[in-house]
Amino acid sequence: MYTCTSQNTLSMTTVNKSQELLVYCDHDNNADSTEHTDQTHPDQTEAEHQSADC
């Protein structure tokens, strides 16, 4: 999640847009990472999967 936050913050020019994307990215990771990791990458940890996604 740290990687995700850094990239989104650096890529956006306004605070509002940055916060919007941070919320969206965090929500997407929290909702999908566990299921996707179990089915597709059983050897990955949740943290590694989140970093790779972002």
CA distances for 23 relative to 9, 14, 47, angstroms:
11, 15, 17
> Mean pLDDT, 10 residues at a time, over the chain (54 residues)?
51 52 52 50 58 58
Match 């999640």 to its residue by tokens. 1
Q: Domain spans of the chain?
A: 2-53
Given a contact cutoff of 8 angstroms between Cβ atoms, the answer to whether 23 and 14 are in contact is no
pLDDT at 1: 47
This prediction's pTM: 0.14
